[in-house]
Amino acid sequence: MKAKKHLKWNTKCKFCLLPSLIGTAIFFVIPYIRVLYYSVIDNQFRRNFVWLDNYIDTLTNEYFLLALKNSLLLIVICVPVLIILALVISLALSYGIKWIRKTRFAFVLPMVIPTASVALIWRSVFAENTTVLPIYLLFIWKNIGICIVLLTAAFTSIEKSICEAARLDGANSLVLHTRITVPMIAPTVFFTVLLSIVNSFRIFKESYLYYGTNYPPDHSYTLQYYMNNNFLKLDYQSLATSAVLTSILVFGIVMVGMAIQRRYNR
């Protein structure tokens, strides 16, 4: 009797998953399978299998390569700057004096500010589009909030006695934080890095609202422009192929990131 009731409870709990699973299947998973199919046929009407031809076309397309290069540059340059800045600010917010803690809103607020609202001011300040700097600054400005939220949450979960003991042993702030507090929250730092890399793939909105065009200067042409423009041209094959390639890239990054985190946790 008891076993039967237990089974029923388990089934009920499984039913709770259903709405989300069905919605995810309809809007993400099943259409994604069709995207995979689109990426290996020649076009919607003839539907001949061309296997990897679209992939070869995409991977040799100069705009795709330019977009890929710019997307990777954004990761390599901005993510380290973002993480280090977020770490320093989070440390100050967690361990600093009361006055510093009051500045939290200035760093966290940007994460909820709609990009459309601030893109205007960015456009007025940076009148010339000769470098990619405004986009990098916008990326850091917009993404530092979530990093700080996650990092300060982790710092405040460290027990105070650990820091006090280190202080008694004569550790100064620099030693305390580089040797003890930051290493203690390493899993969170990893996750923040991962999230920031992934968010760097989302820069399209910021860039689009800043430039206000589908054809930005070459230095700011990222993967998302490539895909967005194929969307507007209704070029499903290029679009599907680049969507699949981007998803493989992101999937790889997430898997590697999670593997590193798991290893570190041990």
Partner 1 sequence: MKKLNAVIFTLLAAVFILPVIATVALSFMVGGMPSMQGYADLLFDCFVFYPQFWNSVIYAAVITIVQLAVIIPCAFGFSQAQFKGKGALFVSYIVLMMMPLQVTILPNYIGLRDIGLIDTPLAIILPAIFSPFGVVVMHQYMKNIDSSIIEAARLETNSVVRIIITGVVPQIRVCIFAVVLFVFADCWNMVEQPMLFLKDDSLKTLSVFIANAGDFSGRVLFPAAVLFLIPVMILYMFFNEYLEKGLTLGELS
Of the ranges 14-22, 57-65, 74-82, 127-135, which one interacts with partner 1 (CB under 8 A)?
14-22
DSSP string covering 180-216: IIHHHTHHHHHHHHHHHHHHHTTTHHHHHHHH-SSS-
Task: Report the C-alpha gap between 36 and 38 in whole angstroms.
Answer: 6
Measured in degrees and rounded to the nearest 5, phi and psi for residue 143 equal -100, -10
Provide the CB-side half-sphere exposure for 224 (13 A, CA).
16
Q: Quote the least distance from Cβ 182 to partner 1, whole Å.
A: 13
Provide the CB-side half-sphere exposure for 193 (13 A, CA).
18
Of the ranges 26-34, 46-54, 76-84, 174-182, which one interacts with partner 1 (CB under 8 A)?
26-34
Interface of this chain with partner 1, residues 196 to 235, rule: CB under 8 A: 198, 201-202, 204-205, 208-209, 212, 223-224, 227-228, 231
Say whether residue 246 binds partner 1 (CB under 8 A): yes
Say whether residue 14 binds partner 1 (CB under 8 A): yes
| Tokens encoding 20 | 């989300």
Using DSSP's 3-state secondary structure scheme, residue 27 falls into helix
Measured in degrees and rounded to the nearest 5, phi and psi for residue 41 equal -110, 165
Task: Report the C-alpha gap between 136 and 141 in whole angstroms.
Answer: 9
Q: Which residues pair with 41 in a beta bridge?
A: 49
Interface of this chain with partner 1, residues 77 to 106, rule: CB under 8 A: 89, 92, 96-97, 99-100, 103, 105-106
Of the ranges 44-52, 74-82, 162-170, 195-203, which one interacts with partner 1 (CB under 8 A)?
195-203
- Radius of gyration of the chain measured on its C-alpha atoms: 23
Q: Quote the least distance from Cβ 198 to partner 1, whole Å.
A: 4
Task: Report the C-alpha gap between 155 and 176 in whole angstroms.
Answer: 13
Q: Quote the least distance from Cβ 227 to partner 1, whole Å.
A: 4
How many residues in the shown chain lie near partner 1 by CB under 8 A? 90
Q: Quote the least distance from Cβ 66 to partner 1, whole Å.
A: 16
Interface of this chain with partner 1, residues 134 to 193, rule: CB under 8 A: 141, 144, 146, 149-150, 152-154, 156, 185, 187-188, 191
Whether 147 and 192 have beta carbons less than 8 Å apart is answered as: yes
Interface of this chain with partner 1, residues 41 to 70, rule: CB under 8 A: none
Q: Which is nearer to partner 1, 23 or 217 (CB)?
A: 23
Say whether residue 256 binds partner 1 (CB under 8 A): no
Say whether residue 238 binds partner 1 (CB under 8 A): no
Say whether residue 119 binds partner 1 (CB under 8 A): yes
